[in-house]
Copies of this chain bind each other. A is one copy, B any other.
Amino acid sequence: MSEKKEQWLEDLIRLTEEDTEKKTEKQIKILEAATEIFAEKGYAATSTSEIAQKAGVAEGTIFRHYKTKKDLLLSIAGPIVIKLVAPFLLRDFAKTIDMPYERAEDFFRALAKDRFKFVRENMRIIKILIQEVPFQPELLEQVKSLASEIVFERLKRVVQHFQEQGQLVDAPPWRILRTGASVMIGMILVHVLLVPDFSIDEDEEIEYTVDLLMYGIAGRPR
């Protein structure tokens, strides 16, 4: 995995949760250390004493801030969930809601590009998410409620806009979005996780993948 520090991590830890609850330097160090060790060894195999050692604090300090190791995980993964979702809103959605894309494919291409970059830059945290989110009911609920309330509703409107223009097929928007998300996530995970050494031209890969998504693998009209 990349040794490169995820730049947003420290900022994120500083800024997330309520603005009212400012984090101390020690808390930031604890959260950073926990993220690194969770990503490396997995949540269950990580002891709070290791986290304390890496963060350079006493183990008691951790428990003053976080009642349990699970609270610590939720403190990390909660904000991350927001972070995974927020860029959609902030970076892409600000644009997509104003409809700067003339064509639906431009919209999907831009999302794919942005997510590819995000995954490459944030592998450690994504490892935690893959391993913990699907089976931690609290985190799964967080993802689902953010996904449905904010992201899904906004994406749905974009899809409906393109449907009205006749650019997307007249299917339920959730089915179109699920298909689009699956194709992009599949592309990204294959290249980042499964065959990272298989070198590709990322832009070209995105281009061909968006084409398959838009026009199907049949290569001919119905």
Contact = CB atoms under 8 A, between A and B. Distances in A.
A141 to B, nearest CB: 11
Interface string A148-184: 0000000000000000001111110001101111110
B134 A193 contact: yes
Interface residue tally on A, bucketed by range? 35 or more
B144 A135 contact: no
A187 interface: yes
B217 A217 contact: no
Interface string A18-53: 000000000000000000000001111100000000
Majority SS of interface residues in chain A? helix
A83 B94 CA distance: 46
Given A185-B186, A186-B185, A215 B212 contact: no
A212 B130 contact: no
24 contacts: A104-B218, A130-B130, A134-B193, A144-B195, A168-B217, A168-B218, A169-B216, A169-B217, A169-B219, A170-B219, A171-B212, A171-B217, A176-B212, A179-B183, A179-B217, A182-B182, A182-B183, A182-B185, A182-B186, A182-B187, A183-B183, A215-B215, A215-B216, A216-B218
